């Protein structure tokens, strides 16, 4: 049987550090992703605002 292919999906949150942390905690409580799975804070090159990125792997 053919192996399922995997595709990386990158989810980015851009905003204030406080807002980003709140969204990450909410998504963690909903079971979407562990809080530690997100990248360390970075600066979005387009806006100059803080951002964090999560990579989820989809099988299809």
pLDDT digits (tens, 9 = 90+) for 39-59: 999 999 999 999 999 999 999
Domain ranges of the chain: 6-59
CA 15/CA 42 separation, integer angstroms: 11
Decide if pLDDT at 28 tops 80. Answer: yes
CA 34 to mean position of chain CA atoms: 10
CA 46 to mean position of chain CA atoms: 18
What is the reported pTM? 0.85
pLDDT digits (tens, 9 = 90+) for 6-24: 999 999 999 999 999 999 9
């Amino acid at each position: 049987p053919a192996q399922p292919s995997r595709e990386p999906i990158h989810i980015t949150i851009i905003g204030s550090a406080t807002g980003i942390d709140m969204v990450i905690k909410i998504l963690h409580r909903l079971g979407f992703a562990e809080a530690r799975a997100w990248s360390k804070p970075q600066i979005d090159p387009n806006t100059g605002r803080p951002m964090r990125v999560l990579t989820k792997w989809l099988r299809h």
